[in-house]
Amino acid sequence: MCGIIGYCGPRAAAPILIEGLKRLEYRGYDSAGINVEHDGAFQLIKRAGKINDLRAHVPEDLPGHTGIGHTRWATHGSVTDTNAHPHTDPTGAVTIVHNGIIENYQALKNRLEAEGHVFVTETDSEVVAHLVADMYDGDLEKAVKEAVSLVKGTYGIVAMHIDEPGHLVGARNGSPLVLGVGDGEMFLASDVTAIIAHTKQVVYIEDGEVVSLTADGYHTTDLRNNTVVKEIDHVSWELEEIEKAGFPHFMEKEIFEQPESIARALKGRIDPEYATGHLGGLNLTNRELLDINRVKILAAGTSYHAGMVAAYVLESLARIPASAELASELRYRNPIVERNSLYFATSQSGETADTLYAMREVQRKGGRVLGICNVVGSTIARESDGGVYIHSGPEIAVASTKAFTSQLTALYLFALIMGRMRDMSYEQGRRFVEALEAVPQQIQQILDDTMPIQALARKYARCENFLFLGRGINYPVALEAALKLKEVSYIHAEGYSAAEIKHGPIALINPDTPSFFIVPDDGLRDKVINNMKEVKARSGPVIALAVEGDHEVALIADDVIYVPKANELMYPFLMVVPTQLFGYYCALERGCNVDQPRNLAKSVTVE
């Protein structure tokens, strides 16, 4: 989704802005631009297309020490040079970048047009530049405050005025904004990845706050001009973590990091003495945990699939009714929030608008929401009533992989805690812990030999349709496998419960539509094998993801990929990894842009 970077300091702004935009590329975008102030004039350069196209139009020695930059992910108006940010008012005195959606932009635009303003873009964002210019009487901070007071919708905004060189003003409502505090220089960005090459000292700007910065300092206020005292946080991510470390793509790097990222999510969170988990951030006493009689996991996309798996585990270990809810749907359903329900807002980025708004709706009704987030200091992490960081390290590829398995790890630990307080014996807890601790090594075994998966991708990458089929705890894995394949390779893929195909999808079976079955050695294995036979009987190619030693599967399927034998609750970890690799290799075969698939954004900060 859109990205923002701003700089003021002694260095040349343009290279810092371009480098920041490059680091924001992973969020997904379709155009980019910068505006740099020098000697009382703005130098605005913006282009539809990739940052490298923009860079080609920016003179290497572009002068100027203050500037703003933006990557746009189109919502209002097509992808054109003109619609790219930064935007200006008609006189060119004000320039702004904006993330989010101005919901009342049409009404504001009509009013401004009636007053003689001429608009040049199709965007909602341009009205902000016009409004700031309209309000300006020599004080940019005041003008920004007055302008945003008229705006309905979401925004992360950074503005400059030509009469105030070296000065940036940022404002936030619903779209992330973080200040980077350097040594004699300041940064503003929508995401810390854009600035951690320069500083790890950050201040998270909250909704309703405005930050005013120059190279030497900053101050934060609310829209009524009250000073807001903010703490400086330290970002723990290292620069190397957001680089590729020799891998051709972030997606591959992140898939291969999973043994390590899962181990990190487990670290210090097992209590061997009582064969249970230990999650410090829950902010709940054991007595309060005992009172919980329902768990709901609010999430979107891959995080939702992780929630579905976790709900299954919670019910099975702790015998607590649990379900995953699509955050986008829950919010508008007038949800019933019960006193003893516990909610988890599960989000890699911690910024997904659907999940954030669902969380706020539940909190508004008095519900308790804990966050399961990766990005430290993200909005969901800050606004939740407690929670757990999954510690995956930065996930840069748009397609989520390592976050999924780390979310599972955190939620499995929670299920273990709840299970050990209820139905699970010490011995059952001990076996579960042992099985969970074995997962990183078992995933490493899969990653040590990816040749069979590469061969599979070569064989099937030209197919245009795919079915992924699983049952029970592996049904969400089938959904996740289909999501991964479609987002990175653009192959149409559907995930179903294997039991459901006879209720409709079996009509799709033909020799060109492979069915990818997930066949663990659990209680549903024989049923899944029957479903495989049904597909074979209709001339559909069958791929099976099965457990080492399962020779019967090989007699039915056209191709088999094996995973190590494990505790049956651990198969979602082991089954998902080959499907991530399959999606990745199919995308390579098809020449797709693996890390930044078309139309997609890493962090979906609009509804």
- Interface positions with ligand M6R (CB under 6 A): 300-303, 347-349, 352, 355, 398-400, 483, 487, 600, 603-604
- Closest distance to ligand M6R from the beta carbon of 29 (Å): 15
In the bound state with ligand M6R, the residue whose beta carbon lies nearer, of 298 and 314, is 298
Q: Between 393 and 429, name the residue whose CB sits nearer to ligand M6R.
A: 393
8-state DSSP, 600: -
**Closest among 30, 170, 157, 171 to 99, alpha carbons compared:** 157
In angstroms, give the least distance from the CB of 136 to ligand M6R.
37
Q: Which is nearer to ligand M6R, 399 or 481 (CB)?
A: 399
Q: Is 586 an active-site residue? A: no
Bond into 335 cis (ω within 30): no
Between residues 189 and 553, which has the closer beta carbon with respect to ligand M6R?
Answer: 189
Q: Tell me if residue 592 is catalytic.
A: no
Q: Among residues 302 and 409, whose Cβ is nearest to ligand M6R?
A: 302
CB of 265 to ligand M6R, least distance (A): 15
Q: Which is nearer to ligand M6R, 147 or 604 (CB)?
A: 604
Minimum Å gap between C-beta 483 and ligand M6R is 6
Asked whether 507 and 538 are in contact (CB, 8 A), the reply is no
Nearer to ligand M6R, 479 or 553 (CB): 479
- Please, what is the minimum distance in Å from the beta carbon of residue 484 to ligand M6R? 6
H or E element, residue 459: helix 451-460
Residues 352, 327 contacting (CB under 8 angstroms): yes
Q: Smallest distance, Å, CB 394 to ligand M6R?
A: 12
Spatial strand order of the sheet with 492-497 comes to 492-497, 465-470, 515-519, 542-547, 559-563
Give the chain's length. 607
Amino acid at 53: D
Euclidean distance between CA atoms 99 and 599, whole angstroms: 16
Q: Which helix (H) or strand (E) holds 442?
A: helix 426-448
Q: Which residues pair with 170 in a beta bridge?
A: 158, 211
67, two tokens = 């500037």
Burial 116-132 (b: 16+ CB within 10 A, else e): ebeeebebbbbbbbbbb
Question: Looking at 296, 402, 484, 602, which residue is catalytic?
Answer: 602
With the C-alpha atoms ordered 190, 194, 200, 201, is the resulting torsion angle positive or negative?
negative
CB of 392 to ligand M6R, least distance (A): 11
Task: List 45's β-bridge partners, or say none.
Answer: 34
Angstrom distance (rounded) from CA 2 to CA 261: 27
Which phi and psi angles does 357 have, rounded to 5°?
A: -70, -35
Taking CB atoms, the residue at the shortest distance from ligand M6R is: 301
Smallest distance from ligand M6R to CB 604, Å: 5
For residue 240, the number of C-alpha atoms closer than 13 Å in the C-beta half-sphere is 2
For the chain, the farthest-separated pair of C-alpha atoms sits apart, in whole angstroms, at 79
Q: Please pick, among 2, 8, 586, 592, the residue that the annotation labels catalytic.
A: 2
Nearer to ligand M6R, 193 or 349 (CB): 349
End-to-end CA distance of the chain: 11
Residue that is written with structure tokens 């079996």 in the block: 506
Residue 51 host element (H or E): helix 51-56
Active site residues: 2, 602
